[in-house]
Amino acid sequence: MSTDVDTVAQPTRRPTEQPAIEGRSLSKVYGLGDRQAARALAADDPAAAVAAAGGYLGAADVSFSIGTGEMFVVMGLSGSGKSTVLRMINRLNEPTAGELLIDGEDITKVSDSRLREIRNSRIGMVFQHFSLFPHRTVRDNAAYGLKVRGVGRAERRERADAALQRVGLGDRGDKLPHELSGGMRQRVGLARALAVDPPVLLMDEPFSALDPLIRRDMQDLLLELQAEDRRTTVFVTHDLNEAMRIGDQVMVMRQGRVVQCAPGAEIVAHPADEYVSEFVADVDRARVLTAYDLQRPAKLVFTVDERPDAALRRLGDNEAQGAYVLGQDERLLGVVTDAALLAAVNRGDADLSASVSQDFHTVEPTAHIGDFMHRAGRQVVPVTVVDARGRLSGVVPRATILSSLSTAPAQERERDERPLEVAARA
């Protein structure tokens, strides 16, 4: 992000102390023996070397760090390596090189029995095609992880039913999976993962096999559960809207490499390259971009003790009809219009306090464009962004909103272009 953001907390980013999951230079080579793969990876251009040896580079030098309780989305087209990365976390795919730390423990080095223990007690997984056990009831499916753990029948039943309750299937325990609809089946998949109450949840395109309405329901359910549990979750998807909707951090991958890793709104506002901007071209920006992402500094700001005639002159110089007025403590008092200033000059006021009006619309920095775009252009000043302490954060002109909603990369923010008026505040 740009540097002038210290006063406003970035809305989607959560501070992370010790990472819950950390990937260090993970690579995955398919179709080659260990030694051959190691040699190919050591080459200057690993992808070409692996391809020349007859293999396929699924993930190349992927590093990431996921904070406890974070919803980390891995996004990319098919074949971009996103599932490969996810499946390296519980070693369904064995990493060819690199380290993967879960709470500081490098799971690429643990024994088979310890790996099974980690898979069972620390990691829950939800699959794209649900992968329920068709011969077991919904309850037995949900209880599977507990059964592997050796939990007794009664407790297993109780905890499985509790998990099913949470996903809204409390009354379906005795059904078989084929008796449920797709959305319900994935709820069972989610319950199966939740029943073991793992600190980490892996979700491999869990909703992409569902139709859009059900998908939205499932996202809501996940967000609801996440609000209660704050579980560290790695979520793979190819749907950018989904990524933006649920992700705290989004990692965009292409051809096995990380292209960009940032909060969703930043990816939309500042795509790292052509690939990402093409990717974000069809995202529903109104639901992703916030006032904070679009705001620019207000061009014309008066302080309350300024003289009305001087203020009116500056208003005229700027060909504006209104401007903001700040109090002594930099809090936003309101706006003045040219008509109000003229009246104040005629009255012979010494300052602007009598001329301030509240005829403008304010939004918080975290507000989405979709929530306020209809207000733009109604008043003499643009939509006004005000932070939690009542200070003027910036403005969002209507032209900025419109251009941000077009598919071109957002170029509208020219933060460096600071008007002199701001610096002239008393």
Partner 1 sequence: MPDLRIGERGESVIDFMTEHLGGFFDLLKDFLNFGLRSVYELLTALTPVAMVVVLVVLAVLATRRILLSISLGLGLLLIQAMDLWSETMQTMASVVVATVVALVIGIPLGIWSAFDPVVRSILRPVLDLMQTLPVFVYLLPTILFFGVGDAPGLVATIVFSVPPAVRLTQLGINQVDSETVEAAVAFGASRREVLREVQLPLAMPSIMTGVNQVIMLALSMVVVAGLVGGAGLGGVVVNAVQGLQIAASIEGGLAVVVIAIYLDRVTSALGGQGRANPAWWPRRREAAPAAPVTAEPVSVG
Binding site for partner 1 (CB under 8 A): 90, 92, 116-121, 123-125, 127-135, 144-145, 148-149, 176-178, 181-183, 185, 192, 196, 202, 209-211, 214
CA–CA dist 294, 296 (Å, integer): 7
Distance in angstroms (rounded) separating the CA atoms of residues 136 and 154? 17
Between CA 293 and CA 369 the distance in angstroms is 9
Alpha-carbon distance of 355 to 307, in angstroms, equals: 11
Q: Which two tokens stand for residue 300?
A: 């014309």
In whole angstroms, give the CA distance from residue 85 to residue 62: 8
Q: Which is nearer to partner 1, 8 or 160 (CB)?
A: 160
Q: How far is the CB of 322 from partner 1 (least distance, A)?
A: 52
The nearest distance, CB 55 to partner 1, in angstroms, is: 19
Shortest reach from residue 62's CB to partner 1, in Å: 20
Shortest spacing between CB 184 and partner 1, in angstroms: 9
Alpha-helical (H) ranges within 247-358 are 264-269, 274-279, 291-294, 308-317, 338-347
In the complex with partner 1, the residue whose CB is nearer, 78 or 411, is 78
Place of tokens 């064995």: 94
- Shortest distance (Å) from residue 65 CB to partner 1: 23
**Cβ-based nearer residue to partner 1, 113 or 358:** 113
As a whole number of angstroms, the distance between CA 11 and CA 265 comes to: 9
Q: How far is the CB of 42 from partner 1 (least distance, A)?
A: 30
Q: Using the 8-state DSSP alphabet, how is residue 256 labeled?
A: T
DSSP string, 76-89: -STTSSHHHHHHHH
Please state the closest distance from residue 302 (CB atom) to partner 1, in A: 58
Q: With respect to partner 1, which residue has the nearer C-beta, 108 or 321?
A: 108
Report CA Rg, the chain: 27
Of the pair 60, 202, the CB lying nearest partner 1 is at 202
Q: Considering beta carbons, is residue 147 or 287 the nearer one to partner 1?
A: 147
Q: Which is nearer to partner 1, 124 or 365 (CB)?
A: 124
β-strand 123-126 against 257-262: which pairing, if any? unpaired
How far apart are the C-alpha atoms of 25 and 27, rounded to whole Å? 6
Judge whether 129 and 47 are in contact, CB under 8 Å: no
Evaluate whether 84 touches 94 at the Cβ level (below 8 Å).
no
Nearer to partner 1, 35 or 135 (CB): 135
Q: How far is the CB of 83 from partner 1 (least distance, A)?
A: 11
CB of 180 to partner 1, least distance (A): 8
**Residue with Cβ nearer partner 1 (31 or 133):** 133
Q: How far is the CB of 110 from partner 1 (least distance, A)?
A: 13
Quickly tell me which residue has 């809305």 as its tokens: 11
Residues 202 and 124 sit within 8 Å (Cβ to Cβ): yes
Structure token digits, residue 9: 């907390």
Q: Which is nearer to partner 1, 111 or 346 (CB)?
A: 111
* Beta-sheet strands, E only, within 212-248: 232-237
> What's the closest the beta carbon of residue 382 comes to partner 1, in angstroms?
44
Q: What share of the chain is helix, strand, coil (3-state, %, to 5)?
A: 40, 20, 40
Give the orientation angle of helix 182-195 with respect to helix 212-229, to 10 degrees.
20
Q: What is the DSSP string of 351-399?
A: SSTTT-B--S-EE-TT-BHHHHGGGTTSSSS-EEEE-TTSBEEEEE-HH
Residue with smaller CB distance to partner 1, 20 or 125: 125
